[in-house]
Amino acid sequence: MHDDLLRRIRSGHDPEALARLFELDQAGIYHFLHRRLGHREDAEDATQEVFRRVILSLPSLREPGGYRGWLYRIALRVAQTQIQARIGERRRVETLARTASLTGTTDMAHFSPDENRSRLKAALEALDEELRTVVLLRYEQGLSYEEIAEATQRPLGTVSKRLHTAHQKLQQALAAAGFSLAMGALGEALASPVREAMPQELAARLKQMALEAPSRPASLSLARLGGITAVCFLAALFVGVPLIRRMQAARPEEPSSVARHALPERKGASAPPTPSSALRQNPAEARTAELADPAAAPSGILRGIVRDQETRAAIAGAAVWLENKGGPGEVHRVAETTTLSDGTFSLQAPAGAYKLDAMAPGYARHQFERVMEAYRVQYVSGETDASNEAADALRKSFEVRLESGIATERVFELTPAVELRGVVLDQRGLPIPESQIELYELQVTYRVPRAERVVEHSLSTTYEPDGRTSTYPSDLQGRFAISNVYPKGDVTLRVTRKGYQELKKVVALDRRSVEVTLVLERGTSFGGRVLSAGGQPIPEACLFLLAPEQSSPKALQAGNGGEFEATDQRGGVKFVAAFAPGYAPRLLDLSKQDPGGIQMVLSKSEEAAVSGLVTDESGRPLEGVSVVVHHYAVSTEGGRAQLVFTEKYDGGFSITAPGEYSAFLPDSYVAPRTASQADGAFRLEKLALAPGSQAFIEVKKRGYETLTLEAGAAPLQIRMQPKKK
């Protein structure tokens, strides 16, 4: 399949073939990057970047048979770029020496697949990057040894050796926790029974990229290329050589540049250092040369020192970097370096305006601390010109403009941070590995004197200690550690784990080291199948569990057999909503359902219709009135639920009233619509009705009040009222 599509693409501009080529591997690349980077948003951005590079580099692919290895080599490079750009993002699992030893060893076959995967994933995180990479490529992505060698650019023997070493280390790690693992069981243990579906929006973007890829001229044939080469060679022979000889005769005293470089070096002599070679002389600044090529544009230099805000002591090993000043989602690092033993640093970047930042183990991120200090100045001093000016100065303190050939100096003073450590346990006191601990919200309360009284003002913000991630996993013993936490206020921790209810806990950041214990309760498990009216599975079905105070439930994707499973992580699930292309959306009350045996039967979208007449208050017909399906609803003993089209909403979820739940259909669901004719009559086709549900239409016209009405079998008589001025 790959070879056929690649031949079509090479033979000429064929965007459909390119889009189909992307479809073959995009899910695998997304899941691979998701595993490497740990966050859905990062994986989406990285996947898009991978296929953007594929579009640019595909003409350089020499052997179509090596496409998959070449593709994963690009994915590895993109992932490595993101990983290197993160400061403090990876939190390594505690060393095996600190792992509590258990008596005896139990084969993993005696435990459930979920337990095996949890322990294996935690052990994988403890492996070196090179070993973990070959394991994931081999057992999770299914690449051959030859494809892994192509992806990692390593000899075949090295790949084999690394896989053998990785398996030995995994066995040692699991043995320390009381488990054993056979080589043959590794692939089965790594396989996930229900993968998180690749977002539909990402798939649509990749398809659009392929379809809009610029056309490229057909590659020259070897024969034609040989002819051109021969012509160029003869031209050089008969024109170039005599010309060079005349030039040499005109200036015999000056040797050519080639001759100068070929001269043997004298003892004690050295070539004058260029700016780039001088930069490479400092190992701590090698990263700068990788991120910003000084030869690409006129460069400026940033140098300075990083020190402790309280003691003024120099901080060695601190990261200092420059970011571009792009908008939201466009920020990326342009250059970065690490401070030397005396706290000094120097980096080089193209001239321009940047934001600068710094962070070190045990200290809060500089940019975030400056922003929080700016808020404090405003709130404590009040909204005065002086306080606003001081706050603006703090916010601008991490902005810098580099001029070509000019060195700019800055001093960073970092604030000592809080280290947040703890353990995640179940109700029996047993550790829960692979829990996701998220710094959900930071709240800082300022006490401000106002008119002989003290007023409290609270500031709440989402929080990412390193500016990149706010979520951290627990290890084999359920333990976790989060460094670089801003040392003021209260932080809300949100803990999630498959099979358990979500937990939120507020922790006071009043000490340099905080230890917390987080206890999770088992959640109700839901599962079942999504079927058509004829009993056939619907693998493309999407589902949501609706519960009180659940503003953003996670979408579930049915498997190939229409099966699904989920856990009620926030409690109180009352309804399940299901929808699929070509089928009527369905809402099901769960109050009388077996949670483990839910059958969601979807009917094909019927050609039902609603008709009627629209007039104004005096009875005159109105032309051009918009009539559109607004939402579907079902009312049962469990409450009232409705599925709403997203046109005028942000695609989120909301609770409209006690006992009433609203879920918004994705943008791919286009609401059926029509408009009234000159005589005010309308007919709205393709009304999708599921058994027991109601359909509601929205009637709109400029200058009139908008109406929402239930669609009935009988023709509707709609009278619109002018808007009140």
CA pair distance 79, 73, nearest whole angstrom:
10
By the 8 A CB rule, do 497 and 424 touch? yes
**Secondary structure of 7-36 as H, E, C letters:** HHHHHCCCHHHHHHHHHHHHHHHHHHHHHH
Least confident span in 96-100, 404-408, 574-578: 96-100
Question: What average pLDDT score do residues 477-503 get?
Answer: 89
Closest CA to 526 of 608, 458, 472, 594: 594
CA pair distance 185, 109, nearest whole angstrom:
9
Cβ atoms < 10 Å from Cβ of 339: 24
Least confident span in 244-248, 418-422, 443-447: 244-248
- When mean pLDDT is compared over 161-170, 533-542, 696-705, the highest value belongs to 696-705
CA pair distance 169, 434, nearest whole angstrom:
19
Least confident span in 34-38, 538-542, 649-653: 649-653
Q: Is a pLDDT exceeding 90 seen at residue 498?
A: no
Query: Residue 336, SS3?
Result: strand
Closest CA to 393 of 402, 382, 385: 385
**Whole-number average pLDDT of the chain:** 75
Strands 513-520, 418-426: pairing kind: parallel
pLDDT of 86: 54
Strands 352-359, 399-402: pairing kind: antiparallel
**When comparing pLDDT for 38 and 412, which is higher?**
412
Domain at 418-520, CATH from 3.40.50.300, 3.40.50.720, 2.60.40.1120, 3.40.50.1100: 2.60.40.1120
For the stretch 584-619, pLDDT in tens is 778 787 877 788 888 888 877 666 788 999 999 999
Confidence of residue 264 (pLDDT cuts 50, 70, 90): very low
Q: Is a pLDDT exceeding 60 seen at residue 494?
A: yes
Question: What average pLDDT score do residues 225-242 get?
Answer: 44
Enumerate the β-bridge partners of residue 674.
627
Q: Is a pLDDT exceeding 80 seen at residue 121?
A: no
**When comparing pLDDT for 407 and 686, which is higher?**
407
Q: Is a pLDDT exceeding 80 seen at residue 232?
A: no
pLDDT of 602: 86
pLDDT of 229: 44
For residue 513, give the amino acid letter: S
Confidence of residue 198 (pLDDT cuts 50, 70, 90): confident
Enumerate the β-bridge partners of residue 629.
697
pLDDT of 424: 95
Q: Is a pLDDT exceeding 70 seen at residue 456?
A: yes
Question: What average pLDDT score do residues 22-48 get?
Answer: 84
Domain ranges of the chain: 2-211, 282-414, 418-520, 525-719
For residue 241, give the amino acid letter: V
Q: Is a pLDDT exceeding 90 seen at residue 221?
A: no
Asked whether the domain spanning 525-719 has the same topology as the one spanning 282-414, the reply is yes
**When comparing pLDDT for 335 and 168, which is higher?**
335
Confidence of residue 455 (pLDDT cuts 50, 70, 90): confident
C-alpha distance from residue 340 to each of 46, 84, 273, 314 (Å): 32, 19, 22, 9
Question: What average pLDDT score do residues 570-593 get?
Answer: 78
Confidence of residue 236 (pLDDT cuts 50, 70, 90): very low
Question: What average pLDDT score do residues 492-502 get?
Answer: 88
Confidence of residue 662 (pLDDT cuts 50, 70, 90): low
What percentage of the chain carries pLDDT values higher than 70? 72
Q: How far apart are the first and last CA of the chain?
A: 64
pLDDT of 543: 84
C-alpha distance from residue 94 to each of 189, 429, 475, 476 (Å): 22, 20, 7, 9
Confidence of residue 459 (pLDDT cuts 50, 70, 90): confident
pLDDT of 480: 92
Task: State which H helix or E strand residue 658 sits in.
Answer: none
For the stretch 379-436, pLDDT in tens is 777 667 777 888 888 888 888 889 888 889 989 999 999 999 999 999 999 999 989 9
Question: What average pLDDT score do residues 479-486 get?
Answer: 90
Confidence of residue 507 (pLDDT cuts 50, 70, 90): very high
CB within 8 A of 529, min separation 6: which ones? 537, 558, 561, 562, 563, 564, 598, 599, 600
Confidence of residue 666 (pLDDT cuts 50, 70, 90): low
For residue 452, give the amino acid letter: E
**When comparing pLDDT for 578 and 102, which is higher?**
578
For residue 127, give the amino acid letter: L
**When comparing pLDDT for 653 and 56, which is higher?**
56
pLDDT of 238: 45
**When comparing pLDDT for 232 and 716, which is higher?**
716
By the 8 A CB rule, do 693 and 586 touch? yes
Q: Is a pLDDT exceeding 50 seen at residue 102?
A: no
**When comparing pLDDT for 63 and 353, which is higher?**
353
Question: What average pLDDT score do residues 498-510 get?
Answer: 88
For the stretch 254-263, pLDDT in tens is 332 222 222 2
Confidence of residue 70 (pLDDT cuts 50, 70, 90): confident
Which class does domain 282-414 fall in?
Answer: mainly beta
pLDDT of 265: 35
**When comparing pLDDT for 428 and 657, which is higher?**
428
**When comparing pLDDT for 243 and 520, which is higher?**
520
Q: Is a pLDDT exceeding 50 seen at residue 541?
A: yes
pLDDT of 215: 61
Q: Is a pLDDT exceeding 70 seen at residue 365?
A: yes
Confidence of residue 294 (pLDDT cuts 50, 70, 90): very low
Q: Is a pLDDT exceeding 60 seen at residue 112?
A: no
pLDDT of 667: 65
Q: Is a pLDDT exceeding 90 seen at residue 165?
A: no
525-719 carries CATH number 3.30.565.10? no
Q: Is the dihedral of CA 665, 666, 667, 669 positive or negative?
A: negative
Q: Is a pLDDT exceeding 50 seen at residue 100?
A: no
**Secondary structure of 46-105 as H, E, C letters:** HHHHHHHHHHHHHHHCCCHHHHHHHHHHHHHHHHHHHHHHCCCCCCCCCCHHHCCCCCCC
- When mean pLDDT is compared over 221-235, 246-260, 459-473, the highest value belongs to 459-473
Cβ atoms < 10 Å from Cβ of 705: 12
Locate 632 and state its tokens: 């579907």
For the sheet with 563-567, list strands across it. 563-567, 525-532, 598-602
Confidence of residue 491 (pLDDT cuts 50, 70, 90): very high
Q: Is a pLDDT exceeding 50 seen at residue 566?
A: yes
For the stretch 330-358, pLDDT in tens is 567 788 899 998 999 999 888 888 989 99
Q: Is a pLDDT exceeding 70 seen at residue 722?
A: yes
